[in-house]
Amino acid sequence: MQESANFIAAIDDCWNQIGVWSNTENRCPKLQEVVHCRNCPVFAASARKIFESRSLPPNYLEEWCRHYAAPPPLRRTLEHSSVLVFRVGHEALALPIGVIDEICQPEMAHRIPHYNTNILRGIVNIHGQLRLCFSMSELLGIDDAKPEADGKHRVFPRMMVIRRNESRFALLVDEVLSSRRYSHEDILPVPTSLSRALVKFVRGILQEGEQSIGLLNETLLFQALEKSLK
Amino acid sequence: MSIDTSKSLYAVVFSVGDDRYALPAADLIEVLPLLTLKQLPQTPAWVAGLLNYRGEPVLVVDISTLMTGKPCRAIVSTRILLTSIQRRDGSGKVLGLMAEGVTGTVKILPETLRTSEIWNKSTPYLGLLAMHEGEILQIIHPDKVLTGDSRILLELADKE
């Protein structure tokens, strides 16, 4: 330790003498070019020198020895799939990434006369194309109540455009959360506590921490959407 | 592994004494921190010992001792570069090279490569020179670090 302290003392700390951390009038001419010492190669070279000569912290050798002596972390060879996780009411749900065409800001839907179901909200304009817009909470029978705002977390409602073959639909969701990878062994069975409307569409549960994510069956979802138009 | 001199080369740089050397990243399996090694009695000074790598013994050579006789210091920038070398029978084998000052990688451009024109029979692992940003980097061929009789050491690290 003493040795490394001596070493650091021996380094020419020009940044404190003639650099941005000094009070002198005559500053280093290199500052014209690099503006700040932290952009300067001299500063970087000194930092590297200090880093390279740092002595080992206690138990460093033993800890790394134990770490690498352990068997390698299990590499999953099973096929992975990716899903997009979003929220509707209190439920976290997921659809395969492949069916998601785009995510955009929700727009005012233009109601269609004589199609006054709550599931179909109307027509929206997405890049000049008209798409049918559906409410996910109505379709899945999820109580629309928003989780209590905690003040830290801002919520952005979104419209997801999903596509299968040539049919594209816009879905209103309360929030798009993240994308996630899973392998088939991660899928847990559907609990019986789910509502009946929802249980039809959920083919499994992915657990992430305390959050249970309902994995939606996209085929059934498309069928239900098409059926609601008839 | 021979080097394709028409393409740029990525390499991990380390120090031996005041000089800098480059190990092609293509030869590298993993960079490990310094850790406790099992000592091997009655072996040359440049044999640093045996490493327990995920349950397999791996021979570690102190490249600084091998080249200059001065061992690597026990500092955080001293690391073990795991490289893959070929045995006589063609099968692969992992060899660890312990080196100081392992802090980053460089991209070596083909036009900066020069031959050293000095061929030393006892240092077959020294390769081309790279004139890299004002300093001379010499490329190291890990599969030539153990040659001749010292290759027998490899069998030491083998299970029966």
Domains and CATH numbers, chain A: 2-69 (no CATH), 81-227 (2.40.50.180)
Q: How far apart are CA A30 and CA A229, in angstroms?
A: 70
pLDDT of residue B115: 86
- Whole-number Å distance between alpha carbons of B160 and B156: 9
Which of A68, A74, A75 would best serve as a mutation to test chain B binding (most B beta carbons within 10 A)? Answer: A68
Domain tally for chain B?
1
- Whether A55 sits inside 8 A of B34 (CB atoms) is no
B4 domain residue, yes or no: no
List residues of chain A with CB under 8 Å from any CB of chain B: 48, 51-56, 60-62, 64-65, 67-72
Q: Which domain holds residue B42?
A: 9-156
Domain for residue B46, yes or no?
Answer: yes
Answer yes or no: do B34 and A68 touch at CB < 8 A: no
CB contact under 8 A, B75 and A52: yes
CB atoms near residue B64 (< 10 Å): 24
Residue B135: exposed, middle, or buried by beta-carbon count in 10 A (0-12, 13-18, 19+)? exposed
Looking at A45-49, B71-75, B93-97, B119-123, which range is the least confident one? B119-123
In chain A, residues with a C-beta closer than 8 Å to the C-beta of B53 are 68-69
Give the mean pLDDT of A53-69: 89
Q: How far apart are CA B128 and CA B145, in angstroms?
A: 15
CB pairs under 8 A between A and B: 55
A206: tokens are 């992915």
- Over the stretch A168-215, which tens digit does the pLDDT of each residue have? 999 999 999 989 888 887 888 888 777 777 888 898 998 888 888 999
What is the DSSP-derived secondary structure letter of residue B150? Answer: G
**Of A136, A138, A135, which Cα lies nearest the Cα of A109?**
A135
Q: What is the CATH number of the domain that holds B137?
A: 2.40.50.180
Does residue A2 have a pLDDT over 80? Answer: no
| 8 Å CB contact of A71 and B54 | yes
Residue B3 lies in a domain: no
